[in-house]
Amino acid sequence: MAASCARTLGKVGWSLLDSAAVRRSGSVSSLLGQVSAHGFRRAFGTGGPGIRSKLVSLRAGRPGGGGRLLGCAFLLGGGLGLYQTVRFSVQQHRAEEDTKAPGGGLTLTLYQYKTCPFCSKVRAFLDFHGLPYEIVEVNPVMRQEIKWSAYRKVPILMVNGDVVRPPTAQMRSRPETSSYLRFFSLLLQQLNDSSVIISSLSTFLVNKDKSISEILRCYPQMKSVNESGKEVTEYNNKYWLMLSEDETADVYPEKGMQKEEMKWRQWADNWLVHLISPNVYRSTGEALASFDYIVREGKFGTFEGFFAKYVGAAAMYLISKRLKSRHNLQDDVRQDLYKAVNDWVAAIGKNRKFMGGERPNLADLAVFGVLRVMEGLQAFDDMMENTKVKFWYRRMERATLNHQGQH
């Protein structure tokens, strides 16, 4: 409709320019009425009483001037109309593309340590669903990259994180930054805790009626003090997807699937993840190899990397012994890892490719993400050699690499 009107205005403009009538002196007055002989005047002049509304004024005795001006006006109106039509069409097309794009056009920025199992869980989820995201590797010593956040752990996922830059520590100290911080908090949505991130985005991908901020209200933050006297933050409902009955039936078509998924997601967070450190730091040699990998893959300065590799390896070797005692692990911690992984494979069974059936569910992605951080280390090679996890693990690699969960 708008395009048709624009074309019509254009045709009228050209016809006026070409018309013999408008070339004859005096013919413009019949179209526009009497105009001043003193050239152009301001529409809001002060030369007489009231407001002089002179839309068009012509120099007397200039044949066809008014017609040409009128024609140009119609052409200009048609051009502007056509421009607005094209502009609206492009915006509409982009909106439709955003709707069709994975994640409904969300822009995601992940603040992480590459070798953190909880960060690896989130990456496995994002990769499987084909959700594009940017990575900000956080320096684990200084953590300057997340100085702007009151939540001091990783992963942190910022939704629409490229709208503005997070304020730096220096900016936060300036009084004039307060309005920027308020603007920043309105534009961005910060998601903390790997399981909350995964559950929130899973809900968002299924339920198209709720925004991320509305979904996050379903996962309230709770603070408490643990047995060591340290304040800890936990989130309620973090293994639940906030779906309607119909949506739940679509996601979990078989009885017991939802409870099974939640059980093994919790198992990955509360048990499997605690087997990683005692295994990768089992001996001084393995601890040194692990920190060599961490320094290469992480974000360290030259001095920090040297310090982390040698001092960190020694420290983690000692800490792994304490973790072994805390979690009642066997002297040979590999056996606990083998048993846990074989328990997982047994839970999937022989008739399913994944715990989710023909495609991975959130439990598959969580376990895969945790185990993946050991790749390249002796513990990973031993696990693949001495358990039944290999075939499932390779299927998970292909599923995430090929974005098989992309909508």
pLDDT at 174: 56
DSSP 362-374: HHHHHHHHHHHTT
Model confidence over 137-186: pLDDT tens digits? 999 888 999 999 989 899 999 998 433 344 455 555 555 444 444 444 44
In the three-class reduction of DSSP (H, G, I as helix; E, B as strand; rest coil), residue 145 is classed as: helix
Confidence of residue 104 (pLDDT cuts 50, 70, 90): low
Lowest mean pLDDT among 42-46, 273-277, 300-304, 389-393: 42-46
- At residue 44 the predicted structure's pLDDT band, cuts being 50, 70 and 90, is very low
Residue type, 392: W
How far is CA 332 from its chain centroid? 41
d(CA 385, CA 176): 59
- Is residue 218 pLDDT above 60, yes or no? yes
Q: Phi and psi dihedrals of 123, rounded to 5?
A: -60, -40
Distance CA 67, CA 29 (A): 10
**Confidence class for position 209, pLDDT limits 50, 70, 90:** confident
Is residue 406 classed as helix, strand or coil in its secondary structure?
coil
Omega before 155 cis (within 30°)?
Answer: yes
Looking at residue 25, what is its pLDDT? 43
Distance CA 354, CA 67 (A): 76
Q: Which residues are catalytic?
A: 113, 116, 118-119
- pLDDT reading at 197 higher than 90: yes
Alpha helices in 19-166 (DSSP H): 27-32, 65-100, 117-128
Q: How far apart are CA 115 and CA 312, in angstroms?
A: 14
Decide if pLDDT at 306 tops 70.
yes
Q: Would you say residue 97 has pLDDT above 50?
A: no
Give the gyration radius of the chain's Cα atoms. 33
Q: How far apart are CA 166 and CA 156, in angstroms?
A: 12
What pLDDT sits at residue 349?
97
Average pLDDT over residues 190-215: 94
Contacts of 67 (CB under 8 A, 6+ apart): 16, 17, 19, 21, 22, 23, 27, 28, 31
- The pLDDT value given to residue 263: 98
- 312: nearest Cα among 273, 277, 337: 277
pTM across the whole model: 0.70
Q: Does residue 333 contact residue 278 with C-beta atoms inside 8 Å?
A: yes
pLDDT of residue 67: 54
Q: Which residues pair with 136 in a beta bridge?
A: 111
Would you say residue 274 has pLDDT above 50?
yes
3-class secondary structure, 405: coil
